[in-house]
Each structure stands twice: as C-alpha cells, then as structure tokens.
A and B are shown apart, each in its own frame.
Chain A
Amino acid sequence: MIIAKDDLPTFLDGLLGTYQVFVPLADGGESRYVPLAPGGTFTWQGVNTRKPPKEILFPQSEVLYSYEVGGDRVELREHFDKTKRVVFGIRPCDARSFLHLDRVFLEQEHQDPYYRERRENAVMVGMACLEPASTCFCTSLGGGPFAADGLDLLFIDLGDRYLVRRVTPRGEALLREQPALFRPAGEADRLAAREAEEKAKSLMSPIPDLSGVKPWLDAGFGDPLWDRVYEKCIGCAVCTYLCPTCHCFDLTDEAEENQCVSGVRIRTWDTCAFPLFTLHASGHNPRPTGKERFRQRVMHKFRYFVENWGEAACVGCGRCIINCPVNLDIREVLREIMARAAGAGVSA
C-alpha cells in the first residue's frame, strides 16, 4: 500500500483513539521511543535510537504484583499492562530483537505473562533503513535494512510517500482502520522500493563473516584470548542495558515503609557485567572477575543462545559499539575470534 508522507500525522493521530503510539524522538543528542501526544509531531533522521524499543515490552522497572499480608491470609494482585500500543518507526534490527525476546519470554515451558500481555497488545510498525550507519552489521546476523521479521508492517520511505508492506494480518488490520489514507502500490512504487533496498544494502559496511565464531567458541572457553580481550572493559551496564536482545533481570521486594505487611515485587533490568549478578550468598562467585563476565556476554550472545535457539542473540544494531564508554568494539572481538578460528585454531 501507499500513503502520502503528508498523511502520516493524520494516520498516527487517528490511531491515538485506540492506541498509545510510540515514535522515535531525539532530545538533545539522546533518543528513545516515546508516546506521541495528540496532534504531536516528530521527525527522526538518525538510524537507531540511543535506547532500543525493548523497554516498551520489557521496561527497566515494573511491578509484578502487590501483596498485603493479613492475619491469616495474603492478598496478591498482579499488575498486568494491557495497554494497546502501536510502536512506529522501528528499525529492522530492533524488530528482529523482538523475536529473540519472544523466545526467552514466550517459547519456554513457563511463559512470562507480563511480557506476553504487552507483546500481544503491541502492533509493531517498522521503518526500513535507507542509509545504514557505519556501525550497522545486521546483515551479518540474518537481518537486513529492509527486513520485516518481527514486524506487523514495514514502511519504506520513497521521498514524498511511503510504501507500506503488510507483514501480518494484525498489521493489515491496522491499515484497514483508516482505509482512506492508503492506496494500492503501483509497479513504479515497487520498483522504487527495490532500488532503495539495493542502495541501502550497498551502503552497508563490509560485513564480517561470522560463520566461524560459534565453532571457535565451542572449544574456546579456556583460550588465552579471554585474558586480554576484556582488559579495557570497565564493567558497566551500557552494552547490556542498551542492547535490544539482552533480557536479564532481577526480582526484588519493595516493602512499603519497610514493613512486611504490604508492598510490591518488582522486576528490574540486571546485567552479567555486574559481579553481584552471580554472587552467591556464601561469597562464592562463579564469575569473579571482568574476564569471566565479559566472556559470558560474548559466549551467551554467540554460542549459548545459538545452542538453545539456533541464532545469535545479536541483531547488529551497533548500540554497544557506539555507546561503550571505552570503545570496546564487539566487531573487533568477533574479528579476533575469526582470526583465531582461521589460524591455528584453539590454543588450549
């Protein structure tokens, strides 16, 4: 389908009656997905927002349930978020991350009902990348600047209009809510979209071949590589908190006024970068230093997740590269691994 660019505000405004609409917004060099106000406008020129849209499905802090302990009973109240949402302007890499999150939260024996409620009530509308950034490497990880995985609709910017690809019935239904704004795409539109896609792909930086990473990691747990590669890591949570696929969390209780009578259990993001993440009450820590913790991050993304789900837990969005306080570049780490894989193999 085709929608004129001038009609986009009308389209989004029209959704506001039913949905909370999230759009990417820049604010003084920072950026994230924020709710659109009625009649509000937004422009987005960057590639990826600083914070990924992950927080819409999996907020940094959320209440799971509240409790009240009475004399002989406990009252528990679950806090589900059933807000209907449309997230507009999602980049294909971030959209792909939803599939990874789905696996962790929905495709295991125990489903996560908090994630499920948000996920089922969110329509994901993507925006194809015309000009990928130099830090983008989605194509190395099964994605692409025009990929639609994880999306319900994909918008492609054709100058004065968007070509809208209908990816799922849910996305199609969203268009049908305001049929007057859309017309069928013509051959010229489709051709323009194909050309834009070819151009975007040609703008991607040289793609690191990652095929050898997993096999090397399988045998490389004890490799001396790990003794040096983490060395400049300061152990903060930037790479994990800004990663669209990182999903680790903590569960804690918040008692009201410090009494054990009523309060809430909250879930907050946590990270393998912090020593406390794995510290036992006894004082033993299976990942005692930055070396083990950095190895865990790489191993989890490129080996363990592949083992469990068939794909790496990385979508190549480049956020950890751009935002690392010390420029520890995951592409360099992968290149080093590939070099070792190609060379002498694993030195025990």
Chain B
Amino acid sequence: MSKQEELRATARRLLAENRVDLILGYTAGTLPLRTTPFFARTPAEADLLVWNAFCEYNLTNYLPRYTGNRVGIVVKGCDARSLVGLLQQNQVQRERLYVIGIPCAGVVDRRRVALLAGGAEITAADITGGEIVVRGRGFEKVLPMEEVLFPSCRRCRYGNPVLADVVLGEKVPERKETYEDLAALENMPAVEREAYFAREMAKCIRCYACREVCPMCFCKQCFVDGTAPQWLSRWVGTADNLFFHLGRTMHLVGRCVDCGACARACPVGVDLMAFNRKMIKDAEALFGYRAGLDPEAHLLLGTFDPNDPEPFLFRG
C-alpha cells in the first residue's frame, strides 16, 4: 500500500469511528507542482486526500483555529517539530489531536523548478522515481528530484516525525545537516552582507504571508500592527522591511524549525531563511539547543543556564 492509500485508509477510519471531527491534510491542487490544504470531515472526503512531494504546506499553522475540535493532522518531519513547538507554548492540546506522521524525503521547490525549466509556463509535472518531469507548451524537461527539493529539505535531519500517533510508511534515511548554506554570507565582508540583505528587503511587499503561514506566528497582535507604540511605519521600504524581518527573526529564535513555509509563501522570493538559519546555527553552537524536539523542554529564550556563554559582552 502506498503512503497515500495508507493515509486515506487511516483518515477514513478515524472519521468513520468518529475519533476526530476533521482531518487536516492535502488534496490535489489546481496548478502543477501544487497540492492544497484540505479539511476532510467525512469518510468520503478522506478519499480526496493525497500525499506526494508537492505537500509543501505546514498544516500545524491551522491548529490554533480548531482548539474546540478533535483534529487529525498530517505532519511531515518539520511539521511535527512545529507541533512540538505549539505544544511547548500551550497553543494546542495534545489529547485533542491525532497525529498522522509521514516520513518525508523532501518537498519540491516550485520556484527552483520553474527557474530550471527556463521560465516558460509549466502546465504539468509528474514525479517518477527519483525524477520530476515537467511539461509546458512545446517543451519537456526531466530534473533529478534531489536538485529540485526545497533547500530546507536538502539538509533536513528530521524527515521522520518526532511526534506522531501513527507513522505511515517506511522511515526515510536521515540526512546530514550542514550550515554550508550560510557559509557564503558569513564569509562576506559585513558591508556586502548588508547590501545583500538590503536588496532582499527592498523586494518585500509586506503582505505578511511569511507571518500568516508560520505556525509559530500565533500572536494575537503582531508587533508590526500595534499603534501604541507603533514600532513600524506603514511605509514599505528597505529600512522598515528590515526592521520587520529582524524583529520577526528575534521572535522566532529558538522556535523556528526551518520548515521553510515562509520562504515558500513569499510571493516575491525574499531570502527569508538566512536570518533564521543563522539563529538556528548559533542556538546550537552556543546553547546546544534545537527547536521542536521535546514538548516538555523550556524555550531557548525562556530559560537560562548560570554558565551560559557571553560571547557578546563588551569589556571596554
């Protein structure tokens, strides 16, 4: 039985036995390279669930909306870690959840596919074995899957969900996590790095898709929306955009699980992961901390150790 068939069977059973009110999963999308979030409420609807490498959304983002329901939710490795974060922060109740974990070898980066396909419109995409075949008007291109996976996925150490009530299918092999993605930036002179980020920030249109799609951005009022004090201007330009993204990054320190949902949601392709990745790397190096592994653990910035390092200290 394929993972997708297993998923449907599981969901059908959960709904038929009335163990959950709804299943948060994926169904076929309306565009090639896409699926779409799906809320199955009947056993018949369960048969519309799909599982493939286009299931890019982190569905735990929806959970705080359904605190009054018993929810079955499909999670990939990264999503499971977000779920741990939500549990740590009391945003969801474990006993109301049925977690369907699916070991995940990575999701497709549709922007990268489009770029590799040359920019012409892709009208169909199929995954066969280790390859993805994309077609458009008058062209067909075969790309190795490994090359078109989302950057977070290519370095993902946690493809197997750390938390689940049932795990469907075989485990995926653990990848080796490196921080090579940061090397180029870290090796730049500060002034070039600043110029790089200034260019990225200039693209941002402050649609807040990154925030809205992030499971960790569950604040009732975001700092960008307050008026007293008004931290941020409504003006959309490099400086205020940078202020927003730095503020958001700080807010995600020790909570971001590198699922990459923000970067996938961004309509204008801002490099949203660099800041978060830097913080993930530092948290590990300085404090040995990884987000989203232990629901009982304190958050990184919510606790301390008397012997914490002080690399920042200015001694004059």
Contact = CB atoms under 8 A, between A and B. Distances in A.
Interface of A: 26, 28-30, 45-47, 50-51, 60-61, 131, 133-135, 228, 231-232, 234-238, 241-242, 250, 252, 254, 266, 268-269, 271, 274, 276, 321-323, 325-329, 331-332
Nearest to B205: A241
Contacts of A234: 61, 209, 212-213, 265
Contacts of A271: 207
21 contacts: A28-B115, A28-B269, A29-B119, A60-B236, A135-B31, A228-B39, A234-B265, A236-B208, A238-B265, A241-B207, A254-B233, A254-B235, A266-B234, A274-B208, A325-B213, A326-B213, A327-B35, A328-B36, A329-B29, A331-B30, A332-B30
A310 B62 CA distance: 37
Contact of A327 (B29, B207, B269): B29
A252 B234 contact: yes
Contact of A45 (B57, B120, B234, B265): B120
Nearest to B237: A61
A126 B121 CA distance: 21
Given A28-B269, A134-B121, A266 B209 contact: no
A266 B235 CA distance: 7
B209 A29 contact: no
B245 interface: no
A50 B203 CA distance: 12
Interface string B226-238: 0000000111110
A68 B62 CA distance: 47
Interface of B: 29-31, 34-39, 57, 61-62, 111, 114-115, 119-121, 123, 137, 203, 205-209, 211-213, 225, 233-237, 264-265, 267-269
Given A29-B114, A321-B30, A327-B35, A236 B265 contact: yes
Contacts of A276: 225
Given A232-B36, A232-B39, A325 B234 contact: no
A237 B119 CA distance: 25
Given A29-B111, A232-B38, A234-B265, 5 more contacts: A30-B268, A135-B31, A232-B37, A237-B207, A276-B225
**In the A-B complex, the 3 residue pairs with the closest CB atoms:** A325-B265, A236-B209, A237-B207
B107 to A, nearest CB: 13
A236 B234 CA distance: 16
A329 B37 CA distance: 12
Contacts of A332: 30
Nearest to A237: B207
Contacts of A232: 36-39, 62
A327 B267 CA distance: 12
B86 to A, nearest CB: 16
Contacts of A252: 233-234
A250 B234 contact: yes
A325 B267 CA distance: 8
Contacts of A241: 205, 207, 267
A311 B37 CA distance: 31
B35 A61 contact: no
Contacts of B213: 234, 236, 325-326
A24 to B, nearest CB: 13
A268 B207 contact: no
Contacts of B267: 50, 238, 241-242, 323, 325
Given A51-B268, A241-B205, A45 B236 contact: no
A135 B119 CA distance: 15
A46 B115 CA distance: 12
Given A45-B119, A61-B235, A232-B39, A325 B137 contact: no
Contacts of B234: 61, 250, 252, 266, 268
Nearest to B209: A236
A94 to B, nearest CB: 16
Contacts of B264: 325
A324 B187 CA distance: 35
Nearest to A55: B205
Contacts of B137: 131
Contacts of A135: 31
Given A134-B121, A235-B212, A242-B267, A327 B34 contact: yes
Residue among B29, B61, B114, B205 facing the most chain A CB atoms (10 A cut-off)? B205
Nearest to B32: A134
Contacts of B237: 61
A311 B98 CA distance: 47
Given A28-B115, A29-B111, A47-B121, A325 B209 contact: yes
B216 to A, nearest CB: 14
Nearest to A131: B137
Contacts of B206: 237
A60 B212 contact: no
Contacts of A254: 233, 235
B236 A133 contact: no
Contacts of B225: 274, 276
Residue among B36, B39, B207 facing the most chain A CB atoms (10 A cut-off)? B207
A324 B268 CA distance: 12
A133 B114 CA distance: 14
A274 B115 CA distance: 32
A242 B205 CA distance: 9
Contact of B205 (A60, A235, A250): A60
B148 to A, nearest CB: 13
Nearest to A249: B234
A306 to B, nearest CB: 24
A135 B34 CA distance: 14
A268 B119 CA distance: 31
